[in-house]
């Protein structure tokens, strides 16, 4: 179910952020973006998440043997394109867990709501394309 998936994402995010912070404390701060321009970062996060979720849904639905490669290349492309704009979080748990550990939640609307919007749009578009 969706709640189980979200719970697993958050637990994994906290475990990963905790491990990184114990091994490389400076890396945790470097990997937790803070949006200076909320509008621009929000659009970037929504678009990046939209694109990633659309690829994931398409690959899974079609059962493509190269699905992992397609998803990995999509993440790489999105990260390279969006890093200068928003830090390319494209996953609320990936941003939220390190942000909680550091107490840096001022950009929460950008990194929690924009990916949700992008995901919902991707599901709607994918459903319409079937």
pLDDT of residue 102: 85
The model carries a pTM of 0.85
Cβ atoms of 55 and 15 within 8 Å: the answer is: no
b vs e for 79-104, b when ≥16 Cβ sit within 10 Å of the residue's Cβ?
A: eeebeebbbbbbbbbbbbbbbbbeee
- Average pLDDT of the residues in 80-98: 90
pLDDT band for position 34 (cuts 50, 70, 90): confident
**Is the domain covering 2-129 a CATH 1.20.1260.10 domain?**
no
Q: Please, what is the average pLDDT of the chain?
A: 90
Mean pLDDT (whole number) for 35-54: 92
Give Cα 115 distance to the centre of its chain: 7
Residue 36 binned pLDDT confidence (cut-offs 50, 70, 90)? confident
């Amino acid at each position: 179910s969706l709640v189980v998936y979200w719970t697993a994402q958050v637990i994994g995010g906290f475990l990963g952020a905790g491990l990184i912070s114990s091994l490389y404390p400076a890396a945790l701060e470097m990997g937790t973006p803070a949006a200076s321009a909320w509008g621009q970062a929000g659009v970037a996060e929504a678009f990046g998440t939209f694109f990633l979720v659309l690829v994931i849904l398409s690959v899974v639905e079609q059962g493509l043997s190269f699905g992992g490669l397609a998803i990995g290349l999509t993440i790489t492309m999105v990260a390279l394109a969006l890093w200068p704009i928003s830090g390319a979080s494209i996953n609320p748990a990936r941003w939220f867990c390190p942000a909680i550990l550091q107490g840096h939640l001022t950009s929460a609307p950008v990194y929690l709501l924009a990916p949700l919007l992008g995901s919902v749009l991707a599901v709607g578009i994918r459903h319409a394309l079937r």
